[in-house]
Structure 1
Amino acid sequence: MPLLDELGRLSGVFLAVLLRFTFQGAHCELVVSPAGPTQVNAIVGSNLTLAVSFSGAPDPVVIWLMGDLPVVTWTIGSSVPPDIPENMRKVLKVEQNGSLTFVNVSLGFASNYTVKMTKSGVGNAVLSFTLKVFENIQNVTLSTQPDFAKEGTDLFILQYSMLQGVVEHQMWFFNDIPIKTNSHYLMEPRSLVILRPNRSDAGQYTVLLTNPFSSVTTHINVTVLYGPDEPVLEAHPAQPFYVAEDSLSLSCHAEGFPQPTVQWDFGGQMLSDTHKGVLNLTNVRTSQGGIYTCTVLNEKTKEKRQKSTNLNVYGSPAQFLSAVRTTHDSEGKIVVTIYCVSDASPKAVVSWSRDSGAITSGTAYQISSDTTQLMMVDYNVSNFLLQNYTCTCRNPLGSQSREIQLQGPSVSNSILFPNQDGTVVTLTWEIPPTSIVTGFDIQMKGPDLLSTNHTGIQTRGSSDGYRTIQQKPGSARSTDIFGLEPKLTYQFRVIPRANMTEGVPSVVHIVGPGMENCSTECV
């Protein structure tokens, strides 16, 4: 009996152990675990292993995927070689425990890798890796697009290039201060974009390129073209006005890069005698007063601006210009106008006087609105000759006066020109500047002219005395006389008139074969 009891006890223990192992086998799980890092960095040409370990089933099928592409398939422990694409066999190698080894790895193998282990009746196990493959960064250069930044344009780009290398991180610096992406800077792969560049963006830019195996720093200096800004005009010495014979300088400058060039012009003419934007005016004249315009030009961008200044140059009245003009009014009265103009700045005001005192506008005298003209009206020329007239020009810097003495009708100079055939003569004459003349009688002495023509020839008196052959207005200074007989002798003179008052005749001009006996002027 004791023997049977012992056998029964041993059978129970064996059954319990068997049941225990049977229960555990029904719940076995295939597990794959990393035997090293799952994020792996490698340098080109190195060897590395994506290491794994597994448990829960013997000899599972292992599959490695590069992204979604299977690159290794093998049953662990099998004598059959693993299935690897031919173009990867020199690089990829599967280890006995299912790990994936890379030999002389190249950039093309950088990817995400997934290992799948499968055992029939047990299930699947999956594990992921990331492989980054780098080159050492070498020969980095910086360039810009365009070559120069210009203030106000939309954008300016700095970009780097390199002979070789894989960049994991890029950092940009401006004058050694780190740059961050914001409304002014935009960092893109391989470049930095400056939005709406301005002059404050000029300076040194630096890019720092790094990966786990190397780092390189490269610099570039950026120039920003800008301007010209609004020109600044200054006069030295600064005064509200200048007096003739003063000396002064006008300066013009504007901010910009490159430094803008300066050009002055006055009265539509460019002024060449400037130095660095400074125009020197020595012993200035009143004629040099006026608008001076400064043009500043950025020769790189071709942008330009202009600004003008008004230079006031004053002078006391000088260089008088006086003249007398005689006409008729509708009633036949003699109208005498005296002009009095001076070179003065500011413009001079003219006052008029005569021997008996100041002249004001009224019945006998009229003064123009700008005061430069005095007009007198009378039938009798002698009434104009009784007094002397004075015009006085005044401005804040002084005054000048001129006396005008009117003369009766007279001729100051006359000349006779015959044509080549001797059939036509041209008679010219001048009158004194203050002479009162309303017309001229052209007189001739000698035989009658051959014909009467369009010039208004008239015959008065006999051929033995002078007779009027033409009458000319007071504005005339020449006349042509036709119908002369070349073989005969003629005498001509000019009689100035003021209405019915005759002045002293001009010299007598003689033309013809008898001119050798002339006593006045022979032609």
Structure 2
Amino acid sequence: MKWLEGFQKLSSVLFILTFQGANCQLAVFPIGPALVNALAGSNVTLAVSFRGAPDPVLTWFKGNLPVGTWTLNSNSPPDIANGSRDVLRIENNGSLTFKGVPKHFTGNYTVELTKSGLGQALVTFTLNIFESIQNVTLSTQPDFAQEGAERFTLQYTMLQGVVEQEIWYFNGGKLKNSTRYLIKGRSLVILEPTRTDRGSYSVLLMNPFSSVTTHRNVTVLYGPDEPTVEALPAQPFYKLGDSLVFSCQAEGFPKPTVEWVFMGQILSDFHQGVLNLTNVQTSQGGVYTCSVLNGLTEEKREKNVTLNVYERPLGNPVCSVMSVNNANLQYQCMWAGGTPQARLSFPTLSNTSSVAGIFSFVVPPSTNFDKRTIICIGEHPIEQNACNITASSPINFLPAVKTTVDPDGKIAVTIQCVSEASPQAVVSWSRGDEAVINGSMYQISSNTTQLKIRSYNITTFLLTPNFTCTCHNPLGSKKKQVHLEGPSISDSSLFPNKEGTIITLTWEVPPTSIVTGFDIQMKGPDLLSNNGNNAMTTGSSNEYRIIQQKTGSARSADVFLLDPDSTYRFRIIPKARLTDGDPSEVHIIGPGEGLSGSAIAGIAAVIPCSILVLILLIGLIFIIFYLRKKKSHQTRYPVSRTVDKVKNIQPNATPRSILNGGLRSPPDYNRLQKTPPERSEILPTFVPPPTVRVATTV
């Protein structure tokens, strides 16, 4: 029997080994990319995972040179190569960590796992160590490019860094090797440069951890070319007293020298070809000559420009309309300066005109002038110009009410009434039937468009009669009454996010409502904290509590960290300093509102069952009724008076069959279904009648 037990154990071992050989294979995988970039001096890990065998022997190689070996999970420490022990470390999972990795550790690293009987597995990483690029300079050889030369070279140098990629640019455009450009090593060579090669050159040096761009401007020697002369600002003539500059430029390097000559005299008030003329006079008009000279080539070129100087009115005509004693309209047109002065007129008002640079015309107010455009024509030998003005009566307007709190704690309500009108409308204020005058409580702005009312108590505003503002000018007037209301909210809404964790409350207030702030109140469980605990608010979940306070200008509030599985109620309380207004409608969010899908499904399932039970009850009632009716039609035999008496004295346990409205009462289903001990009352005992002899007559 012992040999049989040994055979069974051997069979089990062979089965296990066979199963492992069929389903397990030693393998190692990189965690993350196999190409790893790292900054010199940083920590980096070549992370691996393996499977197929426990505790394999692990060896790390740099190229073909082993740098560390270890049997995973063994008690002995990993064996690290000399010169790398301060940098390398083999982790418990077999990963290789570099601490403060130096630049020279760049290379290919291979991890090899071996296990007796399972072969070996390996994976290779490429580790690139980079230094930050610093102190890059760009130089040229020779110092200047010359048109027609064989080549011109730009070369960069740097204090430190590893360049993975370099890109050359010319005036922002990327350069590539071509018949004109040769990129080699750290240099850009321009073959046979021309003047078009003048501009800004830059080189972009990059590695995964830094990038540096260095610029250099390159000028090509050439010229001079035909000079370009222009006047700034450019126009056919200039007014007396204007300032302008003449600019003379010629292409070439070195930059050609410039001289300005007027009436045979060399002018001295110019710099780098720019001649400044300030406060020009008519005597300065004439021909100016620009002469350019290249000091190296001795080549000289000239070009002439003519200056015309005229005196004209300043600016453009300006039209306006004013109120004269709030009774008449005064149209005015002004265009000052000029020789001769401009002639001004209002052709639609009068055939007269003025040449004094300003012209006014007064007309009585009339509906003919309301919204009618009046044109002023300004005529001058140099130009003709015009302006226009439209007078209009005040139009309908909407008073604006703004509520603030003064530093002394008083509620300050500012009513603003502005009506579009020309001439500008004057605003008068009244309270009820009395005019409002400036004082400690009422303050009217200097332009009369604003009335400021100050008080500690909100009732002062609510009990005051309506305020009236009247906007008027000579063409008419418009008035509006303002009835101030207590703090209230006209409309509010709630907008949740998709997850149900954030809501936004928005609200509106009536235009004339006095509001200095809002309390945002909530009923429900506490808001969640950032770690998911209910710790953001305190108080009973069955009572409203303030979670935010907003200023009177606010119209929205965001509430964060809601529990999507809980039900919350929100409302907004408007405030006028210490007085609370009526709360807004209550906004509810959460799963507790309405029927859930499972509840609706349950109701839908119960309805057919209820109908079936109702049909069965109706059938049962019908059967009982039928049996009672059949029993009442059975043949009755004569009985003795004693029996009849016993029947008459028995209580009638059957309920009344007729209810109010002529309906038959339903049967007592409890009596029909209950066993005798379950009946609610004891039935009377049946007493049999005495024996009675009956004579039969034949």
| TM bracket, shorter-chain basis | 0.3 to 0.5
TM-score where L is the length of structure 1: 0.43
Q: Higher relative contact order by CA 8 Å / sep ≥ 6: 1 or 2?
A: 1
Going by fraction, where is strand more abundant, 1 or 2?
A: 1
TM-score where L is the length of structure 2: 0.32
Going by fraction, where is helix more abundant, 1 or 2?
A: 2
